[in-house]
Amino acid sequence: MKSDTSTRPQPVVTRFHYIVILLLLLPLTGQALAPTDSVRINEVYFACSINYTTDDQFIELYNAGSTTAWLDGAMIARGTDTLMTRVFAFPGNPGDQTWALPPGGFTVIAQDAFDFVGVGGDPTSVDLSGAPFETYSVNEWPPVDNPASQNLIDALDIGMDFELDRRQGGILLITGEEFVVEPCEDGG
């Protein structure tokens, strides 16, 4: 005799079950970058040299806290709190533990991880070839992608480099846990 499964009561998954499952998973996941981590934007270099006004730029982060901060999924944005024109994210998701910034540690995000010293006859530029991160864009002209540097992800998918500019607002460090892109209305 076959049983009729269509009348059999199905298990009910409640919000309580999801909370219990989530609490069981918490010890297995990392801690997302939070404002309490004391990660600071330590330096912004954007005035650049005479010949490279948009390429030899960088942002330096510093962990002023006493614990390791995880940068996975965190974002660096250019703009204001209401209008961001460039947003780049560290690879991974908030809570992952791939990109560590130890207490007292620094890390550099270069627009292009390239040695600009002496390029175009300008000895005043900087060597960014050892930068661990860069904001590479597939649409840029040389310098090309540095395979030794981890590319940040263009969160707005606009295909442009960071291009720091004092007329475009400030530089923001965002935890990355919540990010919503809303297009501007016509005329806005």
R_g (Cα) of the chain, nearest Å: 22
Residue 181 has pLDDT above 80, yes or no: no
Please write the tens of the pLDDT for every residue from 137-157: 777 766 678 999 999 999 888
What is the CATH number assigned to the segment(s) 30-174?
2.60.40
Indicate the domain borders of the chain. Answer: 30-174
The values of phi and psi at residue 78, to 5°, are: -110, 130
Write the CA distances from 137 to 76, 85, 86, 103, 174, integer angstroms: 15, 15, 12, 30, 20
SS3 state at 76: strand
Q: What is the pLDDT of residues 94-113, one digit of tens each?
A: 889 999 999 999 999 999 89
- Beta-ladder partners of 61: 41, 107
CB-based contacts of 54: which residues, under 8 Å, 6+ apart? 48, 111, 161, 163, 164, 165
